[in-house]
Structure 1
Amino acid sequence: MLVINKETIKELYSMEECIQDIEKAFCYGHRNKTLTPVRLSVPHSAYEAETLYMPSYIEPENYTAVKVVSIFPHNSGGIKPVLQGVILLTDAQTGEHVALMDASYLTVLRTGASSGAATKYLARENAKVCSVLGCGAQAAGQIQAVMSIREIEHIILYNRTIARAEVFKDEIHSLYPDWRGTISIQPDANAAAAQSDILICSTKSSTPLFDGSVLREGTHINAIGSYQAHMQEVDAQTLIRSNKVVVDTLEGAMHEAGDLLVPHKKGEWNTDLIYGEIGEIACGEKAGRENSSEITFYKSVGVGFLDTMAASKVYRKALSEGKGESFSL
């Protein structure tokens, strides 16, 4: 078995590679070549915490995986991180457990790649301005994905605390030291949304971040922050104005996408208006963006087979390049 840490994953696996693999995984999912049982949550009520167990299988790749993520909010500000995760990868032809790897960075990477695939098909080719609402852990992966797909010239950052936006600005500069674009910090979410060609929503908000009426024609939105049925980053007006509302999976969206479910329950918008899954577009069965004036909206709550896909690719690269630490149980 190989143990593969975050630093090795960063060395081995680029965002560009991950986007290609995730796009392929979405096609597998659309063609029923994947299996993703409902995730199991084990609560630790004494600590207001939980551990999530997320299995998945991709038949054409011949791998299955289980991602285990513990979320301990009381670790905030302490020595140990709030979120800790690992992925166990298994060869589905032999049953051999072949790799154990860091899940935290890989989750950021594959979540970014999911938005990257959506941006490829749904954002305007000439999109230059990317606004980010929420500069937390997922934001770096989102920026990396968008920068891989479009030639961004200006990034606008909005965060509840300006200090975090300042830190994230420095992170972007360190990721792209030779990039000649500009980064500005905007204290008003409506102003950030109004200026964007591509808008990233990556918060855990339970109330909409901006007024959908400020969006200009041709905007593409990647909404990845809210992942529970009560959470909501965008308002009904955003959905009403969107010509195409696309989801990672319909099953996940109908259970966890508060951005869609809250307006539906209030009678402000109907989930029957969902255009389709990103896998249908990636497979060429439905059109992506069809003109420059469309407002397009991509909602992702995450799906386990993306972890299996990314983990299997990292493992194969580690084997071929002699990376990772080998051990026997």
Structure 2
Amino acid sequence: MTLITDEQVRQVLTMRESSQVVRDAFVAAARGQAVTLPRTRTSLDHLTLSVMGGIVAPAGMCGAKVYSTNAGQFDFVVVLFDGADGHYVATIQGNALTEFRTAATTRVVIEAQLPPKGSTLAIFGTGVQARAHLATMLELDVFRRVFIVSRGDGAAMAAAFAKSHPEVEFKTADAITAVPESDVVITCTRSATPLFDGNLLKPDAVVAAIGSSKPQTREIDDVTLQRAARIVVEHKEQARKEAGDLVMAQPGVVDWDRVVEIGDVLTGDASAIGAAQGIRVYKSVGVGLVDVALSALVYKKIAAAKP
């Protein structure tokens, strides 16, 4: 049995390379060359078991991500199979992988829709995903000012990133200060209720809500959704079940016929559905398609490095 650890994943993956693999996976899905297995969950007492996956023909792999949840803590593994004959290939710890794939997906969506001359970013949260998202956004080399909005130690996070990015101005702020100044707003929290008033958003802002995959929690409000010229999700079927930001909206606020998938944005097929200008909202819930695509990359890089 081949077991690839989180430590090995961190050694071979970069966010830039991960973003390209994620992009390719969504383009493949839009072209019928990849499919997503939507997440299923089952619970008993204090434990929840979840399964999601996909088949990615260009990567030559299929697989499933399996994980447990206990008191808000997760533990992930990805089981990978060969796409040609279906034989078992490897098991990959998925904790580091999840960090990469979530932030890489957000990067792909934002890079495809970044407002012209956009240079100010607001990040809500200071946890693992907030740090991963800030790191990959800074790699785009377009942001010169960053607001960190958090109930935690935003000052420590700002200081840490300021050391490695002296060319960027980092500030801690509240939502009322940060949101009106920001071209891109990313929410990476476990909030069950909206974090800011959508009226505060710039008219061409991009908003990425990535903190939850539960239908009973949300980080953005109805005003944000009403103002949105385009709403983007990874996979419509899964989003309709899990995206609390959209599911909890008042009737008529979200027109699901006009919600577009990432692959459609990347291939240009979304142009007839949602405007490319104005406020654009991306709601993430996480899909197994990208877990499989990134796992395939990790496996191939490690296999190639063996003597």
Above 0.5 in TM-score?
Answer: yes
The equivalences for 1:67-106 within 5 A come to 67-73=65-71, 82-106=73-97
Question: Cα deviation per residue 1:125-184 (whole Å; 9 max; x = unaligned)?
Answer: 4221110112222112222332233521111111123x2x2343355346xx25421211
Question: Cα deviation per residue 1:160-209 (whole Å; 9 max; x = unaligned)?
Answer: 23x2x2343355346xx2542121111x2232212211100111222111
Aligned equivalents of 1:181, 1:91: Cα separation in 2: 44
Partner residue of 1:295 out of 266, 279, 304: 279
Q: Aligned pair 1:252/2:227, yes or no?
A: no
- Structure 1 unpaired stretches of 5+: 77-81, 324-329
Aligned equivalents of 2:255, 2:270: Cα separation in 1: 18
Aligned equivalents of 1:239, 1:35: Cα separation in 2: 27
The equivalences for 1:44-55 within 5 A come to 44-45=44-45, 48-55=46-53
The equivalences for 1:134-153 within 5 A come to 134-153=125-144
Partner residue of 1:195 out of 181, 193, 210: 181
The equivalences for 1:101-180 within 5 A come to 101-161=92-152, 163=153, 165-173=154-162, 177-180=164-167
Question: Cα deviation per residue 1:2-61 (whole Å; 9 max; x = unaligned)?
Answer: 33222322221111111111111111222233333343323240xx22121223221232
The alpha-carbon deviation at position 120 of structure 1 amounts to 1.2
Q: Aligned pair 1:36/2:36, yes or no?
A: yes
Q: Aligned pair 1:280/2:264, yes or no?
A: yes
Counterpart of 1:12 in structure 2: which amino acid? V
Once the two structures are aligned, what percentage of the paired residues are identical? 27
Aligned equivalents of 2:36, 2:257: Cα separation in 1: 25
Partner residue of 2:172 out of 185, 190, 209: 185
Change (3 A) 1:297 1:120: same
Change (3 A) 1:311 1:299: same
The equivalences for 1:178-327 within 5 A come to 178-186=165-173, 188-263=174-249, 266-267=250-251, 269-272=253-256, 274-287=258-271, 290-291=276-277, 294-322=278-306
Aligned equivalents of 1:114, 1:41: Cα separation in 2: 22
Question: Cα deviation per residue 1:200-236 (whole Å; 9 max; x = unaligned)?
Answer: 0111222111000011122111111121212111111
Root-mean-square deviation (CA), in Å? 2.2
Question: Cα deviation per residue 1:58-91 (whole Å; 9 max; x = unaligned)?
Answer: 1232211221211111xx7xxxxx2211112111
Aligned twin of 1:66:
64
8 Å contact from structure 2 (residues 215, 244) kept in 1: yes
Counterpart of 1:147 in structure 2: which amino acid? L
8 Å contact from structure 2 (residues 123, 188) kept in 1: yes
